[in-house]
Structure 1
Amino acid sequence: MKIIVMGAGVIGVTTAWYLAQEGHEVEVIDRQPGVGLETSFANAGQVSPGYSTPWAMPGLPFKVAKWMTSKHSPLIIRPRFDTAMFRFMGELLANCSEKAYDINKSRMLRIAEYARDKIDALRDETGITYDGDQKGLIQLFRTDAQVEHAAEDMRLLAESGVDHQLLNVDEIIAHEPGLAHARHRLRGGLRLPGDQTGDAHLFTRRLAAMAEQKGVKFRLGTTIEAIEAADKSIVSIRTSAGRLTADAYVLALGSYSPRLMKPLELRLPIYPVKGYSLTMPITDESRAPVSTVNDETYKVAITRLGDRIRIGGTAELTGFSLRLSPDRRETLELSFNEMYGGGDLSAARYWTGLRPCTPDGTPIVGPAPRYGNLWLNTGHGTLGWTMAAGSGQIVADQISGRQTAIPSLDLSLDRYL
């Protein structure tokens, strides 16, 4: 079967890889000149199934109200006349009940744990390297209230069979010696030993090269203008290089996916949530991370990637703007300096990208309603790198008519209909 994958980020490339493994003829289309050049380019560097948590949680409205008065708020909302933004915020708030949180987090953990197992198998089978490591993640708590709140997440982790450990300050520093000078700022931590690190862009590039060796064709520098349909089926894709046809199609365009679905009268509840990162060389090993940590107060991730440090985080609702905000950089630097400080911030590369977020935190993975030859693999939010291998395999299995290894019906767009 000939299959066109729309999007050459980490989601599109992993999907193409698994489709090729099933023996399909695969073509990947992307407007960028290379693979992984948008949201996959410089994310936080975490493969973090244990930290897979929906933003919509009980108490979020009160937190948002408090954050609005903080210069270093984890969430910034730039007011604008944008009906899609207001609808996303309304649906996000509707998912802030305890019942919805339990359902959404359990669902996210299911696909993220599966994806971690798939990337482990991919490393074993291919030998692919990407400045990655498998030393776990520690969620750092600065307040007693944060430690107490972790009890609820620990309950859900236990129910989902996810290994986790609540650490005191001495135990945190035993795992991350570079935090010794920040001892006075810490109250505890939640360690997730199954979580990993890695450079998503490097992974995407190297997997794409291996996919090409298996016959996958990459049509880069090609803009997708429209998806053309007739009789409940996709008949072609109109691009800057002309009309392209296939037997089946996969939409993996992240935040831009809803724009192509709108003319087909399919609403994808996805909104771009802007994130930022800094990447810099290590200058002091004694004050650098061994693996990866999340500073719960600022919602900032600090990750070791080989001889570099990646600092990523913050969430900004501002449409599709890619303007680099000086204030957001200041927040990233503040968290890093308070926790570690062993990197050259003056040499840091500052980057921003758009995370394709759904109101319930779960990606949209599966067949599209009404169109029998269209599949969706989008809406992964901050967890595209974490969930890529799992969602790619699920779509490959579905297109090939195989039973998926994990329950997947509740991952589709049908849950919103």
Structure 2
Amino acid sequence: MPPLAVRAYTATSTLGRGLAAHADALAASRGGLTPNDVSSKPLACWVGRVSGLEDSPLPGEWTEWDCRNNRLAWIALQQDGFADAVRDARARYGAARVAVLLGTSTSSIGATEEGYRRLEQGRMPADLHRPALHSPHSLAGFVAAYFDLEGPCLTVATACSSSAKVFANAERMIRLGLVDAAIVGGTDTLCDSVLFGFNSLELVSPEPCRPFDAGRQGISLGEAAGFALLERVREGDDAPLFVGYGEASDAHHMSTPHPEGLGAELALRDALARAGLAPEDVDYINLHGTASQKNDEVEAALVARTFPASTRASSTKGFTGHTLGAAGILEAAITLLAMRDSLVPANLGAVSPDPGCGPQFAWQAEHADVRIALSNSFGFGGNNACLAFAHAGAAS
């Protein structure tokens, strides 16, 4: 696949707002999980909450779109020069030639929950009677409206792989000549449906999550927003490159991965093939690593049998929690930071490594020359995605 330039990217999570906050936290191995104070009823767990959203309504002209999810998206759009980069692309290519391709799992369902809690004679309260809000497409619709874009506008909702799979959609649209640039990314926010839903599956840990630890007890949920702008590489470009992707769906079980990691391996090998890479070329892998029993077991075995000891690997969900539909873009941004800063993030939270983990695992932060990196995102139903990134000039 011809590489695409990652012209701009940004992220907001419990680690802070913007790339600098994330880089600082990763360098210091400082996580952001806190005791749960989000759910409408008590639930003893830890979450990766973005502070200040309750006091950050959207500006007046965007009130129709106002909800926790779109507030978080708005904050991320204002950071790291991202909005300016999008406006430059719109001026360069035209409003119809820039796509908006965003992933989410719950979108603005938190606002819908609130509406049902406050029903007035069986009807949605007047202040929440906004049809555009109560839709999985709310996020993408809001971002397209904000930038006044007229190109393809697509929502991908494949659980935890959502905002990774949009990179694949962008590559196909650009390669086929449908668009010249694409905003990719996603946003998901904490709400009762997420917290109590995952708790009903007995997946939520009562303590901060510990990916790949022998004594892990489950996931910690978080919220995040992130975006990247993809376009064709220009002559003399020094932007980081998106060089490959793999997608697969093993359809093994609604919430449990295939016991041998069939779909995950298919996605991984597809990404390597599309990027023209061998396993030994990969310097770092940002793992899906949720701290659930089966996910970590399967992913650790996949890494151990595929990559040499020199490849470094870690999960960063111990920093941020599992941000669901935003996990793909958040961890893609962290992967790009690892390349930029030559820093492999620690596998935060693990104190007793699972015996199934191989020598590839970086339990503490490591300084390393990260030229080529992968980011794994594995969703419910075995819906898997793997992204490959490279420094300019590093890809074959």
- TM-score w.r.t. the length of structure 1 is 0.24
Task: With a CA cutoff of 8 Å and minimum separation of 6, indicate the structure with the bigger relative contact order.
Answer: 1
Larger of the two Rg values belongs to structure: 1
- TM-score w.r.t. the length of structure 2 is 0.25
